[in-house]
Amino acid sequence: MLASAVGLAGCSDGASKPPEESPARNEATPTSAPKEKVEITFWHVWSDKDAGPITARVEAFNKSQDRITVKVLGNQDATKQLTAISGGNPPDIALTYWNNIGPWGQAGAVLPLTDYLKNGKVDTASFVPAALERMKVNGEYYALPFTFSMASTLMYNKKAFQDAGITKPPETLEELFETAKKLTKRENGEITQIGFIPDYPWIDNVFWPIIFGGSWVDANGKLTANQEANVASIAYQRKFYEEFGMDQIAKFRSGMGQRGTPNDPLLTGKLAMMIGWEYNFPEERKPDGPIGIAPFPHPANRPDLKGSGMVSPRAVFIPKKAKHPDEAWEFMQYLVGHESQVEFSVESKTIPSLLPALDDPKLRGNEKLVMMHDFYERAKSKTLQGFPNSVYINEYLQALTEETEKALKGQATPQEAMDRVVARIQPLADKAASKS
Amino acid sequence: MTRTAAATAGFRRRRNKALWTGLLFISPWLAGFLLFQLYPILMSFYYSLSEYNLFSDPEWVGLQNYKDLFGDSKFYLSLYNTVYITVFGLLPHLAFALGMALLLNMSVRGQAVYRTIYFLPTLVPAVASSLLWMWLLNAQYGLVNELLGAIGLVEPNWLVDPAWTKPALVLMGFWGTGTQTVMYLAALQDVPKVFYEAAEIDGAGRWSRFRHITLPAISPMTLFLLVIGLINSFQYFTQGLIFAEASQSVGGPENSLLFYAIYLYQTAFSFLNMGYASSMAWILCVIVFGLTLLIFRSSARWVYYGGEK
Amino acid sequence: MAQTITRRSGLKIGVRKKRGLRLLRKTVLPHIGLTLTGLLFLAPFAWLFITSIKTEQEIFAIPTVWWPDRVQWMNYVEAVRTIPFLRYTFNTAMIGVLSAVGQVLVSPLAAYGFSRISFRGRNVLFYVMMATIILPFQVTMVPVYVMFNKMNMVDSYWPLILPNFFGAAYYIFLLRQFFMNIPYELTESAKIDGASEFRIYWQIVLPLSRPAIYTVALLTFLHAWGDFLGPLIYLNDPAKWTLSIGLRSFIGEYDVSWGLLMAASTLFTVPIIALYFFVQKQFIQGITLTGFK
């Protein structure tokens, strides 16, 4: 395998060194003659609408030095990246979602960063641990987290709280359930306002188990999706359906209004509370806005889980057959560096993945980012978690969604559903373990 | 004796000439096939017998992928969903397209405008039209349910209730029949007028003319649309994906929208199991090819070509 | 007396009734049918257009806003400004036209071979051709990409256009059905006169099949116009992109600029409506030609 990769790299570009040959050394040793100018290609997933901040980073990098020119290309979704990498024409560096790193890394499409990290400028300890952890597959880092999205917040409609006479947001999950009951209104037996829907905006098979302190795989490679905490997280969600009625929620939900538009149900108050990400309602959650925020509740008997939540990073990686891996690494270090992290976060209102950046005065002192300040603080929480990355991650997530849906609909008990997930996916995990 | 030999030789010469002329005519396609299609097709067959994750070299596993398929409940489910959309979609849509084409073939003033209008829905990009359908089919305030409610019928939760997601797609499919309508229209234009004139003189009624002239005359087009419709139905993809997105999961509510091609795509590009996906593709190919052969075999009985001796 | 009058007027009424019935059947009923279903078919486009001139607030309003308070033409201005609209339109049209040219040049030839020349192995080859479209593209996509990459054609229009110059099973099959329907006598007499197969093809079969050829050109163009995956995978340079990729520009990671997307979608649709309007006129010309039969 190694030989073939090297051979191909040699074929595609005679001048480039095979990446396995301790590539960082080239960079570390100061060379007497200045190297030739190199152009590298960088692909990301954003469309024009969201591409501004990343384009600005690329331009800044190009200006910062005169050896490497980065050519940036947006709109390159996973299918395109896969086809191009598999088809032998990959970019030098690319941005994708964290859950691609496991399968792509194990399949041999991504260059492991282990050697680079040993000799580079990047200090892995400075990353938000939960974000960095997602880049790890079988003990090796295949990518670095560029930014991440975070769900550890409860968002609520302030007016709905006022109308119901609720003065402070729920702190425990038990309170959340009671508050949701108080915030639910019916007319002629039909729901007209609902307090909380646990699977809105989608069935979240990662968020909920994290909130209950669950996990998915143990140190011995045994899947743990059917352990107590995970099962409890589904049973908890199911309680809402038993309370409000399956069909009634389904019907009300379909007419609730489109998410992310001026008729978003949380804005109109049809939905009183929801799981919040840092990109939800950036303007409306400012101090005088209609949306309130609070830490997401924790189980009453688990105060140690306060501040927990889920992170889903965006990953920068170097394809194995990249023509200029050294230069790509150079650029990657810039992207995850302090300055770039802060600037990007300012422009795109995202959370930097670098711990020191979370306290940067450019973010903390910026009045325009007032709606982000809480999130920067919560990003430091030790109880943040994520889903373990692996080659079989997408099958695992898909199975979790399918079985959780059945449990929520009462077609199976939560325990049965999760037992089935483990039975379905354990063979894949065993196979992956036997291969590595 | 010598005469027969000469005749046979002549026949053979003519047959050889026909072979070469025929091959000459199809040679551009043949070249394209050998140049662009043969290699990928052979590769996909090879993948179907391998474990292949798109990046590492394929590892030969023989028939393992096929064996695994027969124990995969999602394989059967996705096949069922696909057969459902084919059975309930294909024939009604074709009949509808034919009806529309007959209407659009009448000599009525303003026909050009009508023809354009009927083709419009096929031109609207899917991202835009799906939004319209989400709204039309909304359980609470959608127009379809308001109409159904007005005449006292059930008001299904189209996009959420797994029993109704596929019927919703079938219903929506009627708006996408513009291409079939255009093809039927082109076929109808090709029916020689003299046939109708002769039939009218014989005193044949409208139905009889339709049954005995129009239907046989356009039967080659029906064969085409049937075969292509079958092939396309079995590869049903985009609309299913867009609808499923409404419920934020591949496959939609209870996987009721997990069509064969969607499962195949997910297996190949999300699970990185191109070997397994390829074996799915070849199973599909065998099924659809078998059905296509059946249709072609039966066509001797119901398709009439004007060019036949 | 009274009786005859009644009878006479009854007769007159009968004639008028007959003429009225004829008018009803031949003109009024078709118009009613066409208009009613036509309205249903107009709905998606009308909806698209109306949405394109609404504010975001109005687009998702409950209850539905049927017509915006103030027409938002700015959506169009913004949409055209956001993406290089003219450039993308030109690129897309060029791919579409060249693809259509390729198909029209080649597919009828192959279709003729598959329909009007009987040679050994023809059916087998025909079934092989059908098999190529039965196998889902998802599993051949990567090997095809590998091939184009080896030919150094990635990031050019070649992978999108070139295959059209080798015909496509879909159109060859379509044209085969038309060609097989052309009366045998029409070509047999020419054959007896010693005309070559190519001459028969060029001078008899092709002219008789104009509606079919136009259909192929139209459908090829439409396919190229709406294709998303092809341009996405093969084109890297944004200057080479097409409209369908451009449309994606309005869909963000977390939110969609609905007004702009709808305005751009309307603009995306208009040129093909015009094209279709023109092509369907050719169908009518087709009648006069085939009327000779």
For A291, phi then psi, to 5°, come to -105, 130
Contact C41 B121 (CB under 8 A): yes
Least confident of A146-155, A197-206, B100-109, B284-293: B100-109
Q: Which of A254, A402, A436 should one mutate to test binding to chain B, selecting the residue with the greatest count of B CBs within 10 A?
A: A254
Q: Which of C60, C250, C256 sits opposite A257 (nearest CB)?
A: C60
Enumerate residues 215 to 274 of chain C having a beta carbon within 8 A of any beta carbon in chain B.
215, 218-219, 222, 226, 244, 247, 251, 258, 261-262, 265, 268-269, 272-273
Beta pairing, strands A291-295 & A271-277:
unpaired
User: What is the residue whose two structure tokens read 């910026």?
Assistant: A366
Between chains, do C253 and A50 touch, taking CB under 8 Å as contact? yes
> Tokens for B300?
């001797």
Chain B nearest-CA residue for C146: B40
User: A interface mutation test: which of B143, B158, B272 has the most A CBs within 10 A?
Assistant: B272
Please give the pLDDT value at position B275: 96
- Of chain C residues 72-101, which have a CB less than 8 A from chain B? none
Asked whether the beta carbons of residue B272 and residue A103 sit closer than 8 angstroms, the reply is: yes
Chain A positions in Cβ-Cβ contact with residue C253 (cut-off 8 Å):
45-47, 50, 279
CB-based contact, A394 to chain B, within 8 Å: yes
Give residue C14's pLDDT. Answer: 55
Residues C24 and C26: their CA atoms lie apart, in Å, by 6
Chain C residues with a Cβ under 8 Å from any Cβ in chain A: 56-57, 59-62, 82-83, 141-142, 145-146, 149-150, 154, 229, 232-233, 236, 238, 245, 248-258
- Is C113 at the interface with chain B, CB within 8 A? yes
* pLDDT tens across the length of chain A (436 residues): 233 333 333 333 333 333 444 444 444 444 445 568 999 999 999 988 899 999 999 999 999 999 999 999 999 989 999 999 999 999 999 999 999 999 999 999 999 999 999 988 899 999 999 999 999 998 899 999 999 999 999 999 999 999 999 999 999 999 999 999 999 999 988 999 999 999 999 999 999 999 999 999 999 999 999 999 999 999 999 999 999 999 899 989 888 888 888 889 999 999 999 999 999 999 999 999 999 999 999 999 999 999 999 999 999 999 999 999 999 999 999 999 999 999 999 999 999 999 999 999 999 999 999 999 999 999 999 999 999 999 999 999 999 999 999 999 999 999 999 999 999 999 999 998 887 6
Q: Which positions in chain B touch A392 (Cβ < 8 Å)?
A: 271
Distance between CA atoms of A234 and A404, rounded to whole angstroms?
Answer: 7
Subunit contact A79:C238, Cβ cutoff 8 A: no
pLDDT of residue C251: 86
A55 touches chain C (CB under 8 A): no
Structure-block tokens of residue A367: 């009045």
CA distances for A278 relative to A340, A348, A372, A378, B258, angstroms: 19, 11, 7, 11, 31
Q: Give residue B140's pLDDT band: very low, low, confident or very high (50, 70, 90).
A: confident
DSSP calls for chain C? -HHHHHHHHHHHHHHHHHHHHHHIIIIIHHHHHHHHHHHHHHHHHHHHHHHHTS-HHHHT-SSPPSS-SS--THHHHHHHHHTTHHHHHHHHHHHHHHHHHHHHHHHHHHHHHHHT---TTHHHHHHHHHHHHHS-GGGTHHHHHHHHHHTT-TTSSHHHHGGGGG--HHHHHHHHHHHHTS-HHHHHHHHHTT--HHHHIIIIIHHHTHHHHHHHHHHHHHHHHH--HHHHHH--SGGG--HHHHHGGGB-SS-B-HHHHHHHHHHHHHHHHHHHHHHHHHHHHHHHHHTT-
* Contact across the interface for A88 and C149, Cβ inside 8 Å: yes
Q: For A270, which DSSP code?
A: S
Element (H, E) at A249: helix A246-254
Q: What is the pLDDT of residues C133-150, one digit of tens each?
A: 999 999 999 999 999 999
Taking the CA of residue A330 and the nearest CA in chain C, the distance in Å comes to 23
Could you report the per-residue pLDDT of B236-283, keeping only the tens digit for each? 998 888 888 777 788 889 999 999 999 999 999 999 999 999 999 999
Whether chain C has a CB inside 8 Å of the CB on A288: the answer is: no
- State pLDDT tens for residues A265-308: 999 999 999 999 999 999 999 999 999 999 999 999 999 999 99
* Cβ of residue A75 closer than 8 Å to a chain C Cβ: yes
> What one-letter code names the amino acid at B36?
F
* Interface check B228 vs A, CB under 8 A: no
Q: Tell whether A254 lies on the interface with C, counting CB pairs under 8 A.
A: no
Q: For residue A318, give the 3-state DSSP assignment.
A: coil
Residue of C60, C158, C177, C196 to mutate when probing chain B, most B C-beta within 10 A: C177
Nearest CA in chain A to B72: A424
B108 CB neighbours in chain C (<8 A) are 27, 30-31, 34
Instruction: Evaluate whether A88 touches A12 at the Cβ level (below 8 Å).
Output: yes
Largest Cα separation within chain C, whole Å, is 98
C143 → chain A, closest CA residue: A87
Residue of C nearest to A280 (CA): C254
- pLDDT in the model for residue A13: 36
Would you state the pLDDT for residue C38?
87
A92's tokens: 């030098």
Burial category of C66 from C-beta neighbours within 10 Å (exposed 0-12, middle 13-18, buried 19 and up): exposed
Select the more confidently predicted residue: A258 or B173. Answer: B173
- Give the pLDDT mean for B99-105: 90
For residue B89, give the 3-state DSSP assignment: helix
From the list A79, A107, A398, the residue facing B53 with the nearest CB is A107
pLDDT of residue B125: 80
Chain C touched by A192 (CB under 8 Å) = no
Question: A104 and B266 in contact by Cβ < 8 A?
Answer: no
Q: Which of C36, C60, C118, C138 to mutate to test the interface with B (most CBs of B within 10 A)?
A: C138
With a cut of 90, say whether residue B96 has pLDDT above it. Answer: yes
Q: Is B73 on the interface with A (CB under 8 A)?
A: no
pTM for the structure as a whole: 0.90
Across B201-219, average pLDDT: 87
Which ranges of chain C have pLDDT less than 50?
1-11, 286-293
Instruction: State both tokens at C145.
Output: 């990409």
Q: Specify whether the CB–CB gap between C206 and C213 falls below 8 A.
A: yes
